[in-house]
Structure 1
Amino acid sequence: MFFAVNSVVTNNFTDENMINKIKALWQDAQAKLTDNSGCVYGIYHHYQNDYRGDYTLSIAVDHPIKHFSAIINPNPIDSYAVFEVNSNHEDKIYQTWQHIWALEQDHKIIRAYDVDFEKYYPDGRVEIYISLLK
């Protein structure tokens, strides 16, 4: 269960303001969160269709925080593929997403498009969790 700090709807391919929207979303979330918030998540949900369509990106934590009441529940029966990102630099994260999209294009994974997320650990590690169809 995730507790959203804020959210934005965007598209990786057709929204010319996508980068600015996502940067503003993270800046706003960082201003609202404290250093002791633990792991922070970038939650991808409400997909229009696949990775080329619109989706909602929410910044969230995994525990209730005052004034953050929006709750996002992943489907408990989803299975996840986990991709470790070698750096928390945005280029490395984007490269990992490109790898995930290529795996999907090559039919090596079949995504559920339910709730996917990036998990940002306090020590700087990043993992991307992709929901898969069984």
Structure 2
Amino acid sequence: MEVKTFTSRQFVGITTRTNNHYEQTEADGKIAQLWQKFYHNYTSLIEDQATLYGIYSHYESDQHGDYNVTVACDSPGLLERVDNDNALQICRFSGGRYLSFAAQGEMPQTAIRLWELVWRYFEQSDCPHQRAFGQDIEIYHQSNEVEIAISIL
């Protein structure tokens, strides 16, 4: 893991609201359904080398409260559809100071295991970083490589 500074950016994607309690069960989980909907409806509009993102924002409180999840991309083909598709929206990523974790492997299992590592890290009593609960981001650099960047104070 390493501390990084990200610049603000703009993405286009679809959003849902959920919490970690719902995500513990396959029946209630909304994140997997959101990714499936995104792939089903929008992959034909995305260039082959485009990067996909999962943006976590609008935290109600902390990791136990509700939050928004946006599956997004910065693809021009997707941006062109925003005005004609009510599900798509422009998402502004504010950037800032982040603690970045990365892993490679089969998705989504690798991303799930990486999130578990993130939670364990921040639960440590002597953790040197504090989560800001601003915006967190998953960056899918390749189909088998994910980076999770957590906003920190």
With the length of structure 2 as denominator, give the TM-score of the two structures.
Answer: 0.74
Q: 1:36 to 1:6 in 2, by over 3 A?
A: same
Is the aligned partner of 1:87 residue 2:105? yes
Amino acid at match of 1:62: D
In the TM superposition, what is the alpha-carbon distance from 1:88 to its structure 2 partner?
4.0
Amino acid at match of 2:105: S
After TM superposition, the structure 1 stretch with the greater mean CA deviation from structure 2, 9-18 or 123-132, is 9-18
SS in 2 for 1:111: coil
Identical aligned residues as a percent: 29
Counterpart contact for 1:88–1:126, Cα < 8 Å: no
Query: 1:22-81 CA deviation, whole Å, 9 max, x = no partner?
Result: 2221111112123516000010000011111111000111244222362333334x2111
Amino acid at match of 2:80: K
In the TM superposition, what is the alpha-carbon distance from 1:14 to its structure 2 partner?
4.5
Give unpaired runs (5+ residues) of structure 1: none
Match among 98, 113, 124 for residue 116 of structure 2:
98
With the length of structure 1 as denominator, give the TM-score of the two structures.
Answer: 0.83
Counterpart contact for 2:57–2:135, Cα < 8 Å: yes
Which residue number in structure 2 is paired with residue 5 of structure 1? 13
Counterpart contact for 1:10–1:18, Cα < 8 Å: no
* Count of residue pairs the alignment pairs up: 131
Give unpaired runs (5+ residues) of structure 2: 1-8, 83-87
Is the aligned partner of 1:33 residue 2:43? yes
Which residue number in structure 1 is paired with residue 6 of structure 2? none
Q: 1:71 to 1:63 in 2, by over 3 A?
A: same
After TM superposition, the structure 1 stretch with the greater mean CA deviation from structure 2, 2-11 or 42-51, is 2-11
SS in 2 for 1:13: helix
Q: Within 2, Cα distance between the matches of 1:123 and 1:24?
A: 18
Counterpart contact for 2:104–2:144, Cα < 8 Å: no
After TM superposition, the structure 1 stretch with the greater mean CA deviation from structure 2, 66-75 or 21-30, is 66-75
Larger Rg: 2
